[in-house]
């Protein structure tokens, strides 16, 4: 293998998974310091990938999630022929391995998953204990290097501009991320987030609510119940959220993509878990608190509570999250 290989990574389609994919990128850079690594991913991922110094460029994925479009994948793969020495396929689907196959990339690495014999040339075993531990699973594909937690770069100029625009001061506000694209079984109730927001504001801290436009209804509910909270859902780009969250004194989030963003920019984070397990996808942060009731019915890993009560989140009291937040707020800013 060349000392300066060109590497294509077929990236995941979720924000949190893309952040955790940096564990693989950093391991590859350790092994091949002069490697050129490109990521094939949806267009939304470009601002996130640009904050990863290991990556040369992001290539827009040509298809919608779930679409097979065999002919398009074959044509797209053929366009990439001769450009790459190695490929790493992070998604587990059969179709996700087609483009590197059609590109005739000599070494194509990934987990077996959907019986991808022939499509992959280097099948990495995936022990059951690691299957849901996304960061560790991605890292294992590198077959070497030291595990490093994701670390996103921050645009200081953009951060300063955004803080002024939204009336926030660095280290003087708490970032709350109450959404979860996966489904309602990951969302702590709006009333609970509002109670937390009021507690944080009573301590003299401002509160900013982050999320995509899909989270706007949830953040609007919280803002109405916690007057004074700054609702930014749908008002910031992904790169803006990265820069603003990095300026927060503390972040509180469901198990979501922005939780991993907060961890990757070094912001102390309280992570609230319901249908998923904190042992599988914890925030890879230096300072974090994991809040989870660990009921007999969880983790179920379902988008909607199969029992209809969502007790794993509905019975999680505000005081428990406030206590976790207080422990992190006691950490000196320079720590």
Q: Is pLDDT above 60 for 31?
A: yes
Which residues are within 8 A (CB) of 135 and not within 5 positions of it... i.e. 6 or more apart? Answer: 20, 23, 149, 150, 281, 284
| pLDDT at 3 > cutoff 80 | no
pLDDT of res. 335: 45
For 156-329, CATH number out of 3.40.50.970, 3.40.640.10, 3.90.1150.10, 3.40.50.2000 equals: 3.40.50.2000
Q: What digits encode the pLDDT tens for the residues 108-142?
A: 999 998 889 999 999 999 988 888 899 999 999 99
- Give the pLDDT score at 170: 97
The whole model's pTM is what?
0.94
Strands 288-291 and 36-41: unpaired
Range list for CATH 3.40.50.2000 in the chain: 6-140, 156-329
Please say if the pLDDT value at position 61 is more than 90.
Answer: no
pLDDT value of position 1: 53
pLDDT of residue 333: 65
* Paired tokens of 158: 């953009």
Strands in the chain per DSSP E: 6-10, 36-41, 55-60, 86-89, 107-110, 122-123, 173-177, 206-209, 230-231, 250-254, 269-272, 288-291
Q: What are phi and psi of 271, to 5 degrees?
A: -110, 125
Cα–Cα nearest to 269, from 244, 293, 286, 294? 286
Q: Which residues pair with 207 in a beta bridge?
A: 174
Running DSSP on this structure, what letter comes out for residue 120?
B
What is the mean pLDDT of the segment spanning 70-88? 95
pLDDT digit string (tens) for 179-190? 877 778 889 999
CB 305 within 8 A of CB 315: no
pLDDT of 17 above 80: yes
- Rounded average pLDDT over 167-172: 97
Average pLDDT value over all residues in the chain: 94
Does domain 6-140 bear CATH number 3.90.1150.10? Answer: no
């Amino acid at each position: 293998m060349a000392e300066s290989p060109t590497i294509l990574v077929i990236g995941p389609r979720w924000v949190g998974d893309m952040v955790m994919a940096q564990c693989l990128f950093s391991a590859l850079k350790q092994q091949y310091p002069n490697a050129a690594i490109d990521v094939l991913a949806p267009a939304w991922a470009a601002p996130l990938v640009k904050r990863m110094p290991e990556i040369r460029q992001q290539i827009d994925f040509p298809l919608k999630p779930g679409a097979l479009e065999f002919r398009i994948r074959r044509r797209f793969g053929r366009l990439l022929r001769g450009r790459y020495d190695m490929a790493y396929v992070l998604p587990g689907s059969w179709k996700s391995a087609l483009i590197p196959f059609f590109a005739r990339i000599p070494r194509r690495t990934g987990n077996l998953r959907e019986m991808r014999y022939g499509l992959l040339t280097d099948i990495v075993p995936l022990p059951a204990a690691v299957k849901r531990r996304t960061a560790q699973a991605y890292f294992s594909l590198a077959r070497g290097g030291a595990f490093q937690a994701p670390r996103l770069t921050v645009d200081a100029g953009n951060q300063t501009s955004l803080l002024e625009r939204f009336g926030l001061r660095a280290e003087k506000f708490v970032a709350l991320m109450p959404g979860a694209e996966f489904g309602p079984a990951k969302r702590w109730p709006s009333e609970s987030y509002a109670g937390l927001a009021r507690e944080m504001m009573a301590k003299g801290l401002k509160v900013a609510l982050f999320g995509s436009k899909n989270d706007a209804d949830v953040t609007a509910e919280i803002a109405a119940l916690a007057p004074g909270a700054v609702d930014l859902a749908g008002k910031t780009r992904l790169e803006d959220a990265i820069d603003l969250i990095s300026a927060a004194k503390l972040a509180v989030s469901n198990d979501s993509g922005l939780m991993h963003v907060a961890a990757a920019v070094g912001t102390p984070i309280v992570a609230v878990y319901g249908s998923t397990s904190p042992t599988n996808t914890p925030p890879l942060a230096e300072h974090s608190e994991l809040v989870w009731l660990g009921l007999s019915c969880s983790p179920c890993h379902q988008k909607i509570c199969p029992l209809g009560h969502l007790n794993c989140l509905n019975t999680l009291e505000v005081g428990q999250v406030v206590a976790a937040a207080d422990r992190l707020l006691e950490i000196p800013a320079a720590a």
